[in-house]
Amino acid sequence: GNGMHLVCRPPVMPDRDTIVIHGLRTADVEHGMSYDDMLALLLPFIGNRPIVGFCTQLDIAFLNPLVKRYMGTSLPNEVIDLRHLYSRRISGHTQGLSNQAQHLNRILAHYNIPELGAHDAYNDAVMTAMAFLHVR
């Protein structure tokens, strides 16, 4: 389907550790949009569809307080974590996560999906979406 890539200006500018992990420097985010402007675009884009991600608890823990402040409630969407879905698929049970499900690149390799570049939010979303289509 369609994709969306938004850059926000965080309330605290990235420090060295954040820059290493996400590759976003102060210069990359200083002209980004506010969280409210981002939500005004993101929420209609998501609509009532499920949210699919990898290690979703981090994303939802970040988004839900913003969404609650913005519209008075948390995200009502179903959240599907590819790690859990893949673990159930390859092991046949839901107890714990298999070692293979711990890293997105292992799931990508399992399905011969090319790695587009780690820790880039848009690339991570595209790779997770491709893996989801295989796992489901």
44-83 burial, b for 16+ CB within 10 Å, e for fewer? eebeeeeebbbebeeebeebeebbeebeeeebeeeebbbb
Domain enclosing residue 58, as ranges: 49-135
Position 117 in a domain? yes
Position 23 in a domain? no
Position 84 in a domain? yes
pLDDT at 93: 54
How many domains would you assign to the chain? 1
Position 106 in a domain? yes
pLDDT at 97: 57
Position 109 in a domain? yes
Is a pLDDT exceeding 60 seen at residue 120? yes
Eight-state DSSP code of residue 51: E
Position 31 in a domain? no
Return the higher-pLDDT residue of 42 and 16.
42
- 10 Ramachandran zone, left/alpha/beta (phi>0; psi -120 to 50): beta
pLDDT at 85: 92
